[in-house]
Amino acid sequence: MAQLALSGPVYLDTNIFIYALEGYPVFRAVLTALFDALDS
């Protein structure tokens, strides 16, 4: 997956956390990559 360089604040909507907690299958891969990137 390509990396994205951001130069300012990033705001996350609460929906991504709900989808992640519920394990919504359509977004699972994208959210896993997002949370892994935020963790590193």
pLDDT, tens digit, 9 for 90 and up, residues 1-40: 566 677 888 788 999 899 999 988 998 998 998 889 888 8
The reply to whether 31 falls in a domain is: yes
Structural domain range at position 23 = 11-40
The reply to whether 3 falls in a domain is: no
**CB–CB of 19/31 below 8 Å?**
yes
Query: What pTM, to 2 d.p., does this model score?
Result: 0.63
Return the H-helix or E-strand segment holding 38: helix 28-39
The reply to whether 20 falls in a domain is: yes
The reply to whether 33 falls in a domain is: yes
pLDDT of 14 reads 92
Q: How many domains does the chain have?
A: 1
The reply to whether 21 falls in a domain is: yes
